[in-house]
Amino acid sequence: MINFFKNLADLKNDLNLNRNTGTFAWFLHRVTGLLLTFYIFMHLVVLGSEFWKGPGSFNDLMGRFEQPLFKFLEFGLIGVISFHLINGLRIILSDFLLLTRAHKKIFWIGAVIFIAVMIITSIIFFCPYCK
Amino acid sequence: MNSSLAWFRWFLQRITALILVACLAIHLVLLHFIAPERKFHLVLERIQGNKFWAFFYIAFLLAALFHGLNGTYEILEDYLPNGQAGAAKRKFTGTLKKLTGWFLWILGIACFVYGMMVLWKWTNLK
């Protein structure tokens, strides 16, 4: 257990010592990955069990998800997915197409795509006049 | 860790990532643009007796579970006690890693079976 916390302290040290685009992306990729794995379980257990029970409980649950709180959480989810997806594609491009030398440039191209995706998502989610 | 197994996991992580990109694109565009109304009967109409959607959800779930749990293992591996001092500690770390691996496999298989049961209950595939 002590070793585990020491390893976490080392992580903080590593992040401080290597303040590069790659470290930043690596760290965020891991955090978003863990969040998404947690989300898959929630998604599977909550939606699965209500879908199993049938129309009544499923439609009830979906009705509750229309609340503003869930809209914001969903917006955050799209953000987490977009980052993980775009950065993941950057990793695959670097690995499979031998573009390691261009990985920083690809990161910033990805950042622009990420911002574009989030602007489009916020328009779809929160603009009442756009429907 | 056997090095060819480690390579295979690295490779599968990327393959499942590409499957997930395709599945997620379909999943999100369908449920946010084409059919945003989330009603039980609409989902049922879409998936009942439909082999494409059954295949889609099996592939999606398998890819997502493998990718998520393999990624989790990859992270845990870095923060488990690494036991560099002495053979006893190294052995302890090995056991811990194996236990973690087995735990994640059981969790993944349980989730897959659960997902398949939900899918099977309503799809009525012949």
Domains parsed from chain B with CATH numbers: 3-123 (1.20.1300.10)
Q: pLDDT tens, position by position, for chain A (131 residues)?
A: 556 677 777 777 777 777 787 788 888 999 999 999 999 999 998 888 887 777 778 788 888 887 888 888 888 999 999 999 999 999 998 888 887 777 787 888 888 999 998 898 888 877 777 65
Question: From B60, which residue of chain A is nearest by alpha-carbon distance?
Answer: A40
ipTM: 0.84
Contacts A55 to B, Cβ<8 Å: 40-41
Residue A46 identity: V
- Chain B nearest CA to A92, separation (Å): 7
CB atoms A44 and B111 under 8 Å: yes
CA distances from A21 to A48, B23, B120 (A): 39, 29, 45
In this prediction, residue A121 carries a pLDDT of 83
Beta strand spans in A5-80 (E): none
CB contact under 8 A, A54 and B14: no
Residues B16, B67 contacting (CB under 8 angstroms): yes
Is A36 in Cβ contact with B68 (below 8 Å)? yes
